[in-house]
Amino acid sequence: MKIYKYIFIVFYLVLLSGCATTRDLESDGTVTIQRVDSKSAYIIFASIKQFDKEVVLAGVVKLRRSGRGNVRDHVDMSLTALNGDVVYMQEVSYHRLSTKNGEANFRITLNKVPQYGSILQLSLHDRSTHAEVT
């Protein structure tokens, strides 16, 4: 693992540990995270945590090919309740960690606490997944 990923994870854990109430919504069974990778990149880390009244989704994306380069485009995030209703959808942009390691992170604050049994789907998109508009 590269130093930037460690810094991101340590910063994220320190941020969460300073709060009065912190819950890992994936490990306690509230949310199941499903990853849909693209041809050019994959999710190497994803976490959804609640601290106080704020819910934060964070993760790291890595290019499939080795070497330098930017991770482009975005993650499509959808949160589906146990009954099948989609309760939240959003595109989340990446934030490049470094051009040297081909990694980027993403982070979003959700406006509501997911219900028990919810499914969080993270779909990576790159230029090859979008139809070109002419």
Domain boundaries, the chain: 3-129
Query: Of 20 and 80, which is predicted with more confidence?
Result: 80
pTM for the full predicted model: 0.74
pLDDT tens-place string over residues 84-122: 999 999 998 877 766 667 788 899 999 888 999 999 999
Cα distance between residue 99 and residue 104, in whole Å: 9
pLDDT of residue 21: 78
pLDDT of residue 29: 92
pLDDT of residue 49: 94
Average pLDDT, the chain: 80
Q: Is pLDDT at 20 greater than 80 in this prediction?
A: no
| In CATH, 3-129 is 3.30.420 | no
Q: Which of 16-20, 41-45, 125-129 has the lowest mean pLDDT?
A: 16-20
